[in-house]
Amino acid sequence: PAASSPAASSSPAASSPAASSSSTQSATQSVSSSTKSTPAPASRDSGSRVIASPLAKKTASENKFDLRSIPVGTGPNGRIIQADVLDAVKSGVSAQPTAQQAKATQSRVEPLQVQPGTFKEIPHTNIRRIIAQRLTEAKQSIPHFYLSVDCRVDKLIDLRTRLNSMIPAEHKLSINDIVIKASACALKEVPGVNASFHSDYIRVYDFVDIGVAVQAQNGLVVPVLRDVANKGLQNISSDMKELVKKSQANKLKPQDMDGGTFTISNLGMFGIKNFSAIINPPQACILAVGGTESRVVEKEEGSGQFEVQKIMNVTLSCDHRVVDGVLGAQWLASFRRFIEDPSLMLL
């Protein structure tokens, strides 16, 4: 909010004690007259970079003053110094814009000027409006931080190949099915991540309901798999296939997307190596899964022997209000252990 600027005062100039009162009055009137007749300097463009000393920035912040109102400072190379800010505050040049004014300025951004007939405008669907609103709120209100780790998935791929050779084609398992199960096992082992933030408390859930991001016709949707920790891979796979079909046919019901204690977004099938996802509130975390690639890796550190390994990168986005760095790292370590040795999920 803008604060009123202090009243203008005469500049601090040294005067002789013997000076007459009439000359002093005349000088004061002259300064006052020149001050009134001098136009206010033009402010900087809102997108231009402001170069100012740390003390100038601190003084501007304390006085709620917008540094962009000073076109050029008196410091080296036009740098704004504290004296520039104090002079501008005394003369009442400009204070910081209010939140309402800033919002109005943002809404007046001019669209790109293009020739008619060279574009088409696609009206927002209801789901696109909801996606835009929720993701904007999540990114602005949740203090995100990110943790990444590489997982060796040779054993996972071998297990999937063996299991798929024993079941009908319509029930084939995907790597994502195993990622979902490994996430559920890690959430049971590190329950602090299976949580949500509320104004007066953090809620930690005993059950594991995992949302999986799916691209539908009208945009991104996140159907929820229920009670994943107590389901086998085949049940997870069949439930996931059913939810994907509903998503693509635009037949998801509200109860298919309600709740969820954790979310997974997998772009590995599109060749994406790694990415960071936006948290789906009120959940505390979302796991972004990248693709699998072959890397030449030393078998043991210092052994001098190398082998080709299948590596998958995952990134955990965390709400710092709920999950600290150590807790997030503990969850990723648990997830990595289940992914690299899937037989542990049977215990």
Q: So which residues are the catalytic ones? A: 320, 324
Q: Which residues pair with 283 in a beta bridge?
A: 196
- The residue assigned the tokens 């229920």 is 226
Sign of CA dihedral 258, 260, 265, 269: negative
Contact in structure between 236 and 181 (CB atoms under 8 Å): yes
Residues in the chain: 347
- The residue assigned the tokens 């096992």 is 185
3-state SS string for the chain:
CCCCCCCCCCCCCCCCCCCCHHHHHHHHHHHHHHHHHCCCCCCCCCCCCCCECHHHHHHHHHCCCCHHHCCCCCCHHHCECHHHHHHHHHCCCCCCCCHHHHHHHHHCCCCCCCCCCCCCCCCCCHHHHHHHHHHHHHHHHCCEEEEEEEEECHHHHHHHHHHHCCCCHHHCCCHHHHHHHHHHHHHHHCHHHCEEEECCEEEECCCCCEEECEEECCEEECCEECCHHHCCHHHHHHHHHHHHHHHHCCCCCHHHHCCCCEEEEECHHHCCCCCCCCCCCCECEEEEEEEEEEEEEECCCCCCCEEEEEEEEEEEEEECCCCCHHHHHHHHHHHHHHHHCHHHHHC
